[in-house]
Amino acid sequence: MDSARAKPVPRRSPLVLGKSLGRGAYGSVHQARWGTLVCAAKTFYLSQSDFHLQSIQKEITALQKLRSHHVIQFYRVYQEADRIFLLMELAENGSLSQAISKGSLREDDWPTKMRLANEIARGLAFIHQEGVLHRDLKSGNVLLTRYMEVKLADFGLAKIRSAMNAASMTSGSTAVITGTIRWMAPELLCVPIPKYSTKSDVFALGVVMWEMAANSTRPFKAGDMDALVALAIHRGEREILPDDTPAEYRDLVQRCWHQDRSQRPEAKDIVLGHDGSTEEGAGDEEKNDVEFEWSEADGTHTSEIHNGDGSTPGRHTDAANHDEYVGRVPETDDDVVTHMCTAAKRGNREAQLFLGWIYDHGHGVDKSDKDAFWWYRLAASHGSAVAQVHVAKIYLNGQGVDRSDGEAARWYLRAAVHGDVEAQYQMSLMYTSGRGVEQDDVEAARWYILAAENGHCDAQFTLSQWYSLGRGVTQSDADAAKWLTEAAKQGNMAAQLHLGMFYWNGQGVEQSDIEAIEWLTKAAIQGNVEAQHNLGLIYEGGRGADRSDIDAFRWFVMAAEQGYAEAQFLVGLRYVEGRGVQQSYIKARWWFTQAADQNNADAQRSLGVMYEQGQGIKQSDVEATHWYCKVADQGDSDVQTHVGLMYLEGRGVEQNDVDASKWFTKAAEHGDAVAQFHLGLMYLKGRGVEKNDNEAARWFTLGAEQGSVRAQLSLAHLYLEGQGVEQSDIEATKWLTKAAEQGCATAQSHLEQLNLGGLGLDQQNACDVASGITPQYSPFVLGIKLGSGSGTFGSVHEARWGNQPCAAKTFFYNQSDFHLQSIQKEISVLKRLRFRHIIQFYRTHEENGQIYLLMELAENGSLAQAINRGELFSVDWSAKSRLASEIAHGLAYIHGEGVLHHDIRSSCVLLSRHMEVKLADFGLVTVRMLVSAASTADQSKGGFAGTLRWMAPELLFAKKPEYTTKSDVYALGVVMWEMAANSTRPFRDQDNDALVAEAIGDGARETFPVDTPIEYREWAEKCWHQDPSLRPEASEAVQIHCNSSNESPDDDDASLIDFDLSESDSDDLERYRDEFASEASATQENIDQHIGQS
């Protein structure tokens, strides 16, 4: 399950994707961060169709030219590999559709519904004025900010025209049908050439208003067939509005969705109720609410604010004249209040502010928005900056007065130029959003800087984001880090999180793991889920802190309990592996389900694996396929291939070649080599697709170029036959050679036969390839040493052979004859052993006087390394029993093949990426020709071999040691003690090997920890019994596993499906089953037949 694990914390890419927010017209949408800027990221793939890519370009073009308060703001485009990201403003409250579905929009809240309808109309009026038609307006494409303000989004289907043709938009245009049928105007349906216009968008607005009125997001929900719904709309049928719909609202809906588009209003003419935000004309976005004129006088910024017509809004010499209303003076016996009333009447602004506050909060008087506003405004006109901020907020929210963004901006400005830090921050927000002023990033940044310098925490954090992005200011990571530090010191947990990541990555500051962890911890303690998640990854990786599975698990759980999907997946994964917590499939499944319900692909894939393999739950291919399909729908090519195989085999779903081909195609188009091979085979056989040899050859070629052995073999067959390609023995030989270079015995055999017959390659080269000698052009790359870096007689390195990662054991020709004989022995043994718990041998390679044995790479190193790293401290006894059982499986297999290991110990037991046992280091083996399985217990003659502290007593002090299968079983008992005691050195208190050997010969054994389960201890004691005849055979010891499976030690790897679904590069490890496996075999048989004919 390694492919499902999270990546390490450090990320050099400035883009970090967060939780999924849903889907747009052609792409998924995620919450994201660009540097320190929080945004929304819409994701597309370059492999999408031309139509989809044109829609992406269209959306970018539309958003770049649209700058309005009610249109989602576009930031930039970013490409990473084959993905394109559109970074846009984040609408914190999601879509209007989600608000309706969640019940956030109360049924009786008609003022809010009218306001939202007005704001949608203003957005439409603006885009229509800019020459843009939306063409897909619905509640799902209307987003809501944290203040529940409308932002039109998803312009992927927009129609864009030049400014010269803007006026013609009402006259219709020809285009293919575009949009969502239930929101489409009747003139667009059931006609060969739909004519889009501004009135088409207005019709959709009427449907959206019905959605809000009826609290439903599916018009004509009783109609399942879109074709019938389209016909009904075309005939004039409409949804029914609720009985309590206000008459004004009902009238506007009916005008908007009028059958005759000439009777529908233009968006700029739509006004519902008394909405201060629309008084100056919904379509006049360019004027905004006010215009600012800046002048410099005595070094102080002053301003004059005008309405669009040049008049001055709300200009009064005496605030008491406002609306001809005079604020009341409370009647009270409270001496303090009485004193303040007297002072307020005499013009004391602090007293006036006090009266505004008590009416605002109902403190000792009846709460009155009108009286609060009157007294606040009176204090504000007398120069109270605090009162000016209160007045601005009241205008902004429409609390006791008509809502007016222009008046709000005017009062915020008056307070801001007098140094009020909150007003300065609010002015920055007004300029950022374009509320009451013309949108201006540079002016917004100037106010952010003033507020930040005066200590405003939110301004400091936002300013750091702007410096990181270069928005309104010159991009500077150093300045971003400076303001993050200021905000973080004030306790802003978002700033603490980002500052921690700045230190982690060395972005704008000197890199420091210690500082990073300190700031992340501060944020995590305050409950920041991203910080908690990142700390878990840090303790898991061991960078900057001691590696600790327990601490990692603790932080993951904190984030998971707050609903963070990625952390929930990781908690589930820890329960599966027993890392930092006791292993539990039940708890793992619960956490996977929590994350999967949030559409976390890793968790969904893990649930698929649990159901497919029956891990802690009843095995169910149906449930497995259910979860795999959810992952496949998100574009995971590995899982798409697996789903294709399940359809092909009829596992969990009804067998269906067409659906299998569909999923293979999706994965193949994303570059999956396994899918490309299978899709080629489908075209070759005409299964699920029309038979097409040319297409088969094309897909085989793509898979072969990526290193797929089976694709290479199949392509070679096509070249030999001239099927789908021009016949060419040379090309056939080339692809067989590539397969042979990856250790494919079938390809090596075919090459030997083919080329000895004089086809394709010269005879000597053919013999070299067939015998495993590397051709001069073979790519061999030697990497780092692995672990302690040595086997019995040679060092071990990570390496690559072509595209195949592997382990390379290194020897020199100048070693002793005994060593070279041991090397030859190990090669001969590994070539014949093919079993899941035996390390796989690929080939030999000679270079510069060195011999390399290329073998399967065990990603988790040896069992000894795992013990020394402390990884078995937190592993429960069932997991240790499983490892012991798998070692016994491996021994049972080699004993059945007539092989004795002679050197079983924890350092010779390797662990795969899934922590499965792989026996290795066969340099000391004894190999026999079997007459019967029982002959493995016969006496064998030879020299003293093995590692003393793991050797059975009958082998010590004997002139001719008698090695048997029971000698290996004895060593298994010692390895079980190593796991139990978390120690890799038996008799560690005694350095003298001679004394240790004498003790073993006398029957002394190591002591098990007190918490060792009785069953585990008894099995170990049976294995290392003094009398070999009383020890079990390895085939009996497989029962050590507490939850033993029914598999036989002779189980074939071909029946196993690996979790990560990656193709084995060795033909001998064919993993796919049943009918489709036979198709691949048939391809190889055809090659055999052709060579025989040649």
Asked whether the CA dihedral 233, 235, 236, 239 is positive or negative, the reply is negative
Q: How much is the pLDDT for 67?
A: 80
Q: Is the pLDDT confidence value at 321 over 60? A: no
Measured at the alpha carbon of residue 1060, what is the angle toward residues 1058 and 1063, in degrees to the nearest 5? 70
- The average pLDDT across 491-500 equals 93
In the prediction, which pLDDT does 252 show? 95
Highest mean pLDDT among 40-49, 437-446, 828-837, 875-884: 437-446
In a 3-state reduction of DSSP, which class is residue 300? strand
Q: What is the pLDDT of residues 301-310, one digit of tens each?
A: 333 333 333 3
Reading the block at residue 437, the tokens are: 């002023």
pLDDT score for 923: 59
Judged by average pLDDT, the poorest of 496-500, 563-567, 787-791, 903-907 is: 787-791
pLDDT at 162: 36
**Helix, strand, or coil (residue 508):** coil
Give mean pLDDT, residues 853-859. Answer: 86
Q: How far apart are CA 660 and CA 759, in angstroms?
A: 37
Burial of 669 (0-12, 13-18, 19+ CB in 10 A): middle
The model's pLDDT over 147-206, given as tens digits with 9 standing for 90+, comes to 788 999 887 655 554 332 333 333 333 334 455 788 999 888 766 567 889 999 999 999
* Of the listed ranges 508-517, 991-1000, 1052-1061, the one predicted with least confidence: 1052-1061
Whether residue 316 is predicted with pLDDT greater than 60 in this model: the reply is: no
Say which range, 137-146, 446-455, 787-796, 977-986, has the weakest mean pLDDT. 787-796
Please report which helix (H) or strand (E) contains residue 503, including its range: helix 493-505
Q: Tens digit of pLDDT for each residue in 965-1008?
A: 999 999 999 999 999 999 888 988 888 888 888 889 889 999 99
Q: Which one has a higher pLDDT value, 1086 or 584?
A: 584
Question: Rounded to an integer, what distance in angstroms lies between the CA atom of residue 252 and that of residue 145?
Answer: 25
pLDDT tens column, 276-299: 443 333 333 333 332 222 222 222
Residue 257 has pLDDT above 90, yes or no: yes
Q: b/e map of 448-464 (b: 16 or more CB within 10 Å)? A: bbbbbeeebbbbbbbbb
pLDDT band at 227 (very low <50, low <70, confident <90, very high): low
Q: pLDDT band for position 814 (50/70/90)? A: low
* pLDDT tens sequence across 73-120: 888 888 777 788 888 889 989 999 999 988 888 888 898 999 999 999
Instruction: Give the confidence band of 47 by pLDDT, cuts at 50, 70, 90.
Output: low
Mean pLDDT computed over every residue of the chain: 78
- The 10s digit of each residue's pLDDT in 18-29 is 888 876 555 688
Judge whether residue 1026 has pLDDT over 80: yes
The arithmetic mean of pLDDT across residues 822-844, rounded, is 77
In whole angstroms, what is the distance from residue 72 CA to residue 87 CA? 11
Q: What confidence category does residue 334 fall into, taking pLDDT thresholds of 50, 70 and 90?
A: low
1052 or 359, greater pLDDT: 359
Contacts of 824 (CB under 8 A, 6+ apart): none
- The owner of tokens 């609390």 is 399
Looking up tokens 């929009």 gives: 105
What one-character-per-residue DSSP string does 850-918 give? EEEEEE---TT-BHHHHHHTTTTSSS-HHHHHHHHHHHHHHHHHHHHTTEE-S--SGGGEEE-TT--EE
- Report the distance separating Cα 307 and Cα 293, nearest Å: 11
The first and second tokens of residue 636, run together, are: 């995971």
Average pLDDT rounded to a whole number, residues 855-866: 88
Domains of the chain and CATH, by start: 2-88 (3.30.200.20), 96-278 (1.10.510.10), 466-546 (1.25.40.10), 548-634 (1.25.40.10), 654-772+1054-1094 (1.25.40.10), 861-1051 (1.10.510.10)
Give residue 705's identity as a one-letter amino acid code: E
pLDDT score at 869: 80
Rounded to whole angstroms, how far apart are CA atoms 336 and 357? 14
Phi, psi angles (nearest 5°) of residue 847 = -160, 125
Which of 517-526, 733-742, 1063-1072 bottoms out in mean pLDDT, i.e. has the lowest? 1063-1072
Q: What pLDDT was estimated at residue 1062?
A: 30
Q: How does residue 46 score in pLDDT terms, banded at 50, 70 and 90?
A: low
How far apart are alpha carbons 788 and 999 in whole angstroms? 29
> The tokens 């370059």 sit on which residue?
46
- Reading the block at residue 7, the tokens are 């990546």
Per-residue pLDDT averaged across 1011-1015, rounded?
Answer: 89
Buried b (16+ CB within 10 A) or exposed e, 697-720: bbbbbbbbbbbbbbbbbbbbbbbb
Where residue 856 falls (left for φ over 0; alpha for ψ -120 to 50; beta otherwise) is beta
* Residues facing residue 42 across a β-bridge: 29, 86
Q: Is 367 assigned to a binding site?
A: no
Q: What is the pLDDT of residues 926-937, one digit of tens each?
A: 544 332 223 333
The C-alpha angle 683, 686, 688, rounded to 5 degrees, equals 90
- The predicted structure's pLDDT at residue 879: 85
How confident is the model at residue 198, as a pLDDT?
A: 93
pLDDT at 1075 over 90: no
Give the least confident one: 54-68, 386-400, 838-852: 54-68
Give the confidence band of 747 by pLDDT, cuts at 50, 70, 90: confident
Closest alpha carbon to 237 in 229, 248, 226, 225: 229
Q: How many CA atoms lie within 13 A of 957 on its CB side?
A: 12
| CA distance linking residue 61 with residue 68, whole number of Å | 15
What is the pLDDT at residue 1053? Answer: 32
Say whether pLDDT at 832 is over 90: no
pLDDT at 219 over 60: yes
pLDDT score of 951 more than 80 = yes
> What is the distance in angstroms between the CA of the first residue and the CA of the last residue of the chain?
46
Residue 931 DSSP code? S
